[in-house]
Structure 1
Amino acid sequence: MFSSTISPNDRIEDQPTIGIIGLGAMGKMYAILFAKAGWKKIHVCDRPENYEIIREWCSSNIPTVQVSKDGHAVARSSDFMIYSVEAEFIGRVVKEYGPSTKMGAVVSGQTSVKAPEKEAFEKFLPQDAHIISIHSLHGPTVSTVGQPLIIINHRGSADALSLVENLLRSFRSRYVYLSYEEHDLVTANTQAVTHAAFLSMGTAWASEGSYPWEQGRYVGGIETVKVNLALRIYSNAWHVYAGLAILNPNAREQINQYAQSATELYKMMLEAGGALSNGKSDQSSEYDSERELKLRQRIEWAQGVVFGDPSKTRDRKPILLSEDILDKFSLGRSNTVLSVIPDPCAMETESSPRKANSHLSLLAMVDCWAHLDINPFHHLDLAATPLFRLFLGVAEHLFLNPALMDMTIQSAIYDTWHRANDLEFVVAARGWSQCVKFMSFEVYRKRFDETRIFFEPRFDEAGLLGGEMIKAVMASDMDTKSTKSS
């Protein structure tokens, strides 16, 4: 085994060979970061049919990297090897290349769900191989600095663990040590519902056939987070989200509950606003008030379970930046913001200022967590992705702002402009839930690609704004932590 102080500055003959099987977006990110750090012996491969494409890409971007035609050459030569392949195919790939693993090598996987990876490694890797898996909890376009990097020492010596830590140190990520089982629970709790919400929002907007921010809707403030992150998800590869959702039992349960929460809340909104017509009797009005109270109680119950009493002093700074700062990253433009709910009977025009809305996606997310007794803050500092941190911040901003929450409930009951979109959202959420329940990767891909095509013309703009927004929020979070530690 290599020295515990091994570094890129050591002689090339003293350095370990780093291998990467799978040159998708994350595999490329890892290869680039290792090369930039100065490691001299990096061997990579993708599928054999992609050899020429990968070779040309590497020659243009990381010419010091050695490209092989298949995983056998990489496995035979590598002292530390990463399988960066889709979770759906990890078993098949490890079965093919695992027997070629170099004696005493450290083997890792960079999949988003670890149960299939664990099974494949235990079944197909040689007994002398050290199994120390990893997972960067962010996408390939997000800076690794300060982000959580999970390390799972499943079957590795102390020296093997030191080697992995040293090789990854140049990423400047924050190491989080978990077991395979803990990893899948944590990632489900921090990603499953978040992804389901954004996927459903995107599908709902695509089904309506228009970009909502261009219609004066969902513009500015916390709407900026929803729009930018939904488009950010659809600009990534579908399998990144499919593996986590379909192969992780904890995630499947949460996605099902999210769809159920969205459906039940939407029905309660319709019932509470069901008698908006004139000529209601006093008895009918009293019944409507009871239904409104029922909706409020459901929302307040979820708020209490997840966030606690909003009147009590918080021990930490809120996650979300001010809405004024978020406005800078908006795809749409809104010059004014309504501070009160408009008359439900008033006419709404396209030139109307930004409207309050039901925030059904947020209400359903918190309701889902409450029903499953999930505390989202438990994993916030441990292993939160940038998307989870932002969307939790949006929910926190809504639920701990009594005036904003009252506007939301009033809009959910009395406004009609967003009901068609809310209906599309519920249908989308249930559709994604059924897709995951049936464990169909093919249907998942088709649903994802169908929506992706609709938003594709706006990916460049959304990617730029979304990236800057994430940087601003993460920088604010790091400043807060620095202040606490000083």
Structure 2
Amino acid sequence: MSGFPRSVVVGGSGAVGGMFAGLLREAGSRTLVVDLVPPPGRPDACLVGDVTAPGPELAAALRDADLVLLAVHEDVALKAVAPVTRLMRPGALLADTLSVRTGMAAELAAHAPGVQHVGLNPMFAPAAGMTGRPVAAVVTRDGPGVTALLRLVEGGGGRPVRLTAEEHDRTTAATQALTHAVILSFGLALARLGVDVRALAATAPPPHQVLLALLARVLGGSPEVYGDIQRSNPRAASARRALAEALRSFAALIGDDPDRADDPDRADAPDRADDPDRGDDPGHPGGFDGAGNLDGVFEELRRLMGPELAAGQDHCQELFRTLHRTDDEGEKDR
């Protein structure tokens, strides 16, 4: 038994809501799916209703529910907190699946400080399945319902990771907003370089193959979803600024001048291959050898990785083996 004899999943026709509705039903909960529009071809699959202004039938379901899970957009979820919690019976659990936590924490503090609540953010696409995958869990007010829902996630193969609201948004700004910005910026850079992607795919060493694969995966998704992740997280802008500053720092470390005239990809760049005064020859007195400074950067980043460094190296080696379907060690330096 799920611990929730009766549950309501708002937005249960969507991918995330559907995943949790299925989990609850498999555990024996009588689960009502609520949505503004029923799934195509299935008019009886859900109760059509607006959770921000519940009608009589939805209000009755909310009063009877042991769990109300909001699997909807943040704007809807925040507007729903006050009307939903006024209807919920004492001891019932409110949960949501928002990808940003600080706004919900403030709304609960204002309108429902005594209601048990946990936010669950699956850190994976629902189509990938929950087994073995992390689910960020932000507990606003603990209680037996929270414990039961986290156990249900574990029973479904998920791996709940408890975070505070602030920790969640800071972490996801790095794991989601920063990661997606890196991948899409990589794609934009390829476009600006005017390279032949077929030639890249045919000649790329493993790290580049991985980046191409990540770019392809992101491009198979919804621009709206990726844009919402960038705009909704209050720390995403800081993550993007950190990325831009890090790239500028790296360019300076290598001795790169973005405005230099000898860039071979500039249309007006002169041919300086035989220029004895060119400054980008490490052996020339006017040149720059970034190896020493890169040693310091590598040491700093190794300290940052800490005990995760060795595990990450092993993970990458396995990934490269998968790419090449071979048992050798793969390439380490390219």
Q: Which TM bucket (shorter chain)?
A: 0.7 to 0.9
**Is the 1:104–1:128 contact (alpha carbons within 8 Å) kept by the matching residues of 2?**
no
1:325 aligns with 2:322: yes
Structure 1 counterpart of 2:267: none
Structure 1 counterpart of 2:171: 186
Structure 1 position 116, deviation (Å):
1.3
Change (3 A) 1:137 1:270: same
**Is the 1:85–1:110 contact (alpha carbons within 8 Å) kept by the matching residues of 2?**
yes
Structure 1 position 281, deviation (Å):
2.8
Change (3 A) 1:190 1:277: same
Aligned equivalent of 2:49, options 69, 77, 89 = 69
Structure 1 counterpart of 2:20: 30
Change (3 A) 1:113 1:240: farther
For 2:94 and 2:73, the matched residues in 1 are separated by: 16
For 1:223 and 1:148, the matched residues in 2 are separated by: 26
TM-score (norm 1): 0.54
Aligned equivalent of 1:56, options 36, 42, 46 = 42
Q: How does 1:52-451 map to 2 (within 5 A)?
A: 53=39, 56=42, 59=45, 66-71=46-51, 72=54, 73=58, 75-95=62-82, 97-125=84-112, 127-157=113-143, 159-205=144-190, 212-213=197-198, 216=201, 219=204, 221-266=206-251, 268=254, 270-271=256-257, 274=262, 277-281=272-276, 284=279, 285=281, 291-294=287-290, 296-308=291-303, 316=311, 318-320=314-316, 321=318, 323-327=320-324, 401=332, 403-404=333-334
Aligned equivalent of 2:32, options 20, 43, 53 = 43
Structure 1 position 180, deviation (Å):
1.3
For 2:40 and 2:63, the matched residues in 1 are separated by: 20
**Cα deviations across residues 348-396 of structure 1 (Å, max 9, x unaligned)?**
xxxxxxxxxxxxxxxxxxxxxxxxxxxxxxxxxxxxxxxxxxxxxxxxx
Partner-residue secondary structure (3-state), 1:30: helix
For 1:292 and 1:29, the matched residues in 2 are separated by: 55
Structure 1 position 203, deviation (Å):
3.9
Structure 1 position 15, deviation (Å):
4.7
Structure 1 position 92, deviation (Å):
3.0
**Cα deviations across residues 281-338 of structure 1 (Å, max 9, x unaligned)?**
35845796765424x455443322112599xxx754522125342146xxxxxxxxxx
Structure 1 position 33, deviation (Å):
3.0
Partner-residue secondary structure (3-state), 2:168: helix
Structure 2 counterpart of 1:358: none
Structure 1 position 122, deviation (Å):
2.5
Partner AA of 1:256 in structure 2: R
Change (3 A) 1:279 1:111: same
Structure 1 position 196, deviation (Å):
0.9
Q: How does 1:445-484 map to 2 (within 5 A)?
A: none
Change (3 A) 1:309 1:24: closer
**Cα deviations across residues 425-446 of structure 1 (Å, max 9, x unaligned)?**
xxxxxxxxxxxxxxxxxxxxxx
For 1:123 and 1:305, the matched residues in 2 are separated by: 43
**Is the 2:153–2:160 contact (alpha carbons within 8 Å) kept by the matching residues of 1?**
no
Change (3 A) 1:323 1:163: closer
For 1:210 and 1:280, the matched residues in 2 are separated by: 27
**Is the 1:84–1:110 contact (alpha carbons within 8 Å) kept by the matching residues of 2?**
yes
Partner AA of 2:98 in structure 1: T
Change (3 A) 1:122 1:204: same
Structure 1 position 110, deviation (Å):
0.9
For 2:116 and 2:304, the matched residues in 1 are separated by: 48
Moved more, 94-103 or 134-143: 94-103
Listed as ranges, the gaps of 5+ residues in structure 1 are 1-6, 9-13, 60-65, 329-396, 405-486
**Cα deviations across residues 188-240 of structure 1 (Å, max 9, x unaligned)?**
23333211111223444567788724664674622232122222223333454
Change (3 A) 1:124 1:210: farther
For 1:323 and 1:184, the matched residues in 2 are separated by: 31
Partner AA of 1:34 in structure 2: L
TM-score (norm 2): 0.75
For 2:121 and 2:81, the matched residues in 1 are separated by: 17
Partner-residue secondary structure (3-state), 2:315: coil
RMSD: 3.8
Structure 1 position 84, deviation (Å):
1.5
Aligned-residue identity in percent: 18
**Is the 1:112–1:243 contact (alpha carbons within 8 Å) kept by the matching residues of 2?**
no
Structure 2 counterpart of 1:484: none
**Is the 1:151–1:178 contact (alpha carbons within 8 Å) kept by the matching residues of 2?**
yes
**Is the 2:173–2:235 contact (alpha carbons within 8 Å) kept by the matching residues of 1?**
yes
Structure 1 position 258, deviation (Å):
0.5
**Is the 1:245–1:252 contact (alpha carbons within 8 Å) kept by the matching residues of 2?**
yes
For 1:233 and 1:205, the matched residues in 2 are separated by: 15
**Cα deviations across residues 13-70 of structure 1 (Å, max 9, x unaligned)?**
x8522222224321222223333x2424111222x2x23x3671885xxxxxx53433
Structure 1 position 266, deviation (Å):
4.8
**Cα deviations across residues 224-267 of structure 1 (Å, max 9, x unaligned)?**
32122222223333454444433334332121111232345457
Partner AA of 2:170 in structure 1: L
For 1:25 and 1:258, the matched residues in 2 are separated by: 31
Partner-residue secondary structure (3-state), 1:56: coil
Change (3 A) 1:221 1:116: same
Question: More strand per residue: 1 or 2?
Answer: 2
